[in-house]
């Protein structure tokens, strides 16, 4: 009896430690991301810059690099990583399956398709939409793509409230294939300029984005992550099963709709600016769950912070591995995440 309570306390100790620890990790990786690169910037320069209220004291090459290149990129990698980590956890809850990942089941692909459609066909087919939404048109297109795929997969793999991993993954394969083909077709009919703009979606890239493109994405990601974090407790109960959650007093259809909407917004916004970055949404929540358990009140913030740190560190690797060229970050995350996925799959199947 006493033993079991102290053991419980051990898990709750880990749960309480997790957020400050990952927060520190995120800040450290952010500072590293700002400092490391083809042109090293010392910590004192960064501090000096920040202490002057983010305005350049004197215009020099290093402050330009810092403000126009490093900072937007570091902020973006934090935001996208946070979105992928948290949305991965949310999708796994929604499908009650720890193997669901926005990239794996085709949701990110749907987002990429939506984004590419806007780039190539936007001005020709929906000119009013484009002028009305301005710089938000691209993230919106990506979101609609995400939402469409989410709804399709949900309908396909849901049999009376039970989700089977087989249909989930098979539907993901099919959706990814279809999306790949459609993006291919759009690539063929695109102009040279559009082609340059859309090629990076297939591999993922965090660089080359100005503040004006980054800010709408940051806003949308922030809104949806706040929205999702408020659903942590109901989602715990939802993991017992849909009927059980309803018995305990949860309005299940509304809960599902909210999770769908917020993940589609966040993933859509992330994909629209960074392209498809695979496996972060799968690896990060999985690791966190092993360490602190599946309680979403701790899983959500920890996955968010660890996702942000993970992507920021991966982006540093992508930038410096083959200086002066860059690796697409999607390749790095897949190279790290793919083997981990196989390992988890092996452990899961070995149990039966």
Partner 1 sequence: MSIEAQDLSISLGNKTLLKQINLTISPNELTVLIGPNGAGKSTLLKACCGDMPSTQGQLSINNTLLEQYSPAELAQARAVMTQSYEMGFSFTVFEVVSMGCFAYEEQVSQQEKSAIILDVMRFMDIEQLSDQNFMTLSGGEQQRTQLARVLAQLWFPYDQEEARYLFLDEPTSSLDVFHQYHVLSLAKELTKRNIGVLAVVHDLSLAASFADKLILLNKGEVVTQGKPENVLQRENLANVYGIRGEFFHQSDRVKPVIMLDSRQ
Quick count: other Cβ atoms within 10 Å of Cβ 100? 27
Contact predicate 84/309, CB 8 Å: no
Contacts by residues 318-323 (CB-CB < 8 Å, ≥ 24 positions apart):
319/36, 319/37, 319/38, 319/207, 320/36, 320/37, 320/38, 323/38
Stretch binding partner 1 (CB under 8 A), from 20-28, 41-49, 189-197, 293-301: 293-301
As a dihedral over the C-alpha atoms of residue 134, residue 135, residue 138, residue 143, rounded to 10 degrees, the angle is -90
Stretch binding partner 1 (CB under 8 A), from 2-10, 75-83, 166-174, 178-186: 2-10
Stretch binding partner 1 (CB under 8 A), from 52-60, 147-155, 246-254, 264-272: 246-254
Closest separation in Å from C-beta 3 to partner 1: 8
Cα 84 versus chain centre, distance: 2
Nearest to 282 by CA among 258, 314, 307: 307
Stretch binding partner 1 (CB under 8 A), from 36-44, 141-149, 241-249, 339-347: 241-249
Coil/strand/helix, residue 53: coil
Cα 150 versus chain centre, distance: 15
Among 136, 295, 317, 340, binds partner 1 (CB under 8 A): 295
Residue 115 token pair? 């984004």
Closest separation in Å from C-beta 347 to partner 1: 13
Q: Does 293 bind partner 1 (CB under 8 A)?
A: yes
Stretch binding partner 1 (CB under 8 A), from 47-55, 93-101, 270-278, 319-327: 93-101
Among 73, 286, 289, 319, binds partner 1 (CB under 8 A): 289
Residue 162 parent element (H or E) = strand 162-163
Any residues with CB less than 8 A from the CB of 134 and at least 6 apart, and which? Answer: none
Q: Does 57 bind partner 1 (CB under 8 A)?
A: no
Span 148-167, contacts to partner 1 by CB under 8 A? 162
Residue 157 parent element (H or E) = helix 137-157
Q: Does 256 bind partner 1 (CB under 8 A)?
A: no
CA atoms within 13 A of residue 263's CA, in its CB half-sphere:
34
Coil/strand/helix, residue 192: helix
Q: Does 1 bind partner 1 (CB under 8 A)?
A: yes
Among 7, 16, 189, 226, binds partner 1 (CB under 8 A): 7
Q: Does 236 bind partner 1 (CB under 8 A)?
A: yes
Residue closer to partner 1, measured from CB, 4 or 191? 4
Nearest to 264 by CA among 83, 77, 73, 79: 83
Among 294, 331, 335, 338, binds partner 1 (CB under 8 A): 294
Closest separation in Å from C-beta 310 to partner 1: 21
Closest separation in Å from C-beta 180 to partner 1: 29
Q: Does 127 bind partner 1 (CB under 8 A)?
A: no
Q: Does 97 bind partner 1 (CB under 8 A)?
A: yes
Enumerate binding residues for partner 1 (CB under 8 A): 1, 3-5, 7-8, 11, 96-98, 162, 233, 236-237, 239-241, 243-244, 246-252, 289, 293-295
């Amino acid at each position: 009896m006493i033993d079991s309570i102290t053991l419980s306390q051990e898990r709750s100790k880990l749960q309480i430690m997790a957020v400050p620890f990952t927060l520190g990790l995120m800040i450290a990786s952010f500072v590293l991301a700002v400092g490391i690169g083809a042109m090293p910037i010392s910590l004192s320069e960064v501090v000096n810059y920040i202490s002057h209220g983010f305005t350049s004291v004197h215009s020099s090459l290093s402050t330009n690099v810092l403000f126009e290149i490093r900072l937007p990129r570091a902020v973006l990698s934090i935001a996208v990583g946070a979105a992928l980590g948290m949305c991965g956890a949310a999708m796994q809850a929604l499908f009650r399956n720890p193997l669901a990942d926005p990239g794996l089941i085709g949701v990110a692909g749907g987002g990429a398709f939506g984004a590419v459609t806007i780039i190539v066909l936007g001005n020709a087919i929906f000119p009013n939409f484009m002028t009305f939404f301005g710089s938000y048109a691209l993230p919106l297109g990506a979101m609609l793509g995400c939402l469409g795929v989410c709804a399709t997969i949900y309908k396909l793999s849901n049999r009376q409230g039970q989700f089977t991993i087989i249909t989930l993954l098979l539907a993901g394969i099919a959706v990814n294939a279809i999306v790949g083909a459609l993006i291919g077709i759009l690539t063929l009919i695109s102009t040279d300029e559009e082609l340059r703009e859309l090629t990076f979606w297939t591999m993922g890239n965090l660089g080359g984005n100005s503040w004006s493109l980054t800010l709408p994405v940051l806003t949308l990601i922030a809104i949806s992550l706040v929205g999702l974090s408020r659903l942590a407790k109901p989602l715990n109960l939802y993991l017992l099963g849909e009927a059980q959650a309803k018995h305990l007093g949860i309005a299940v259809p509304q809960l599902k709709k909210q999770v769908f909407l917020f993940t589609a917004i966040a993933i859509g916004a992330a994909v629209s600016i960074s392209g498809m970055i695979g496996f972060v949404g799968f690896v990060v929540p999985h690791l966190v769950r092993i360490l602190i358990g599946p309680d979403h009140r701790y899983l959500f913030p920890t996955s968010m912070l660890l996702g942000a740190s993970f992507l920021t560190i991966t982006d540093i690797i992508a930038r410096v591995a083959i200086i002066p060229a860059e690796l697409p970050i999607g390749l790095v995350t897949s190279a790290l995440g793919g083997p981990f996925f196989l390992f988890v799959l092996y452990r899961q199947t070995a149990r039966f």
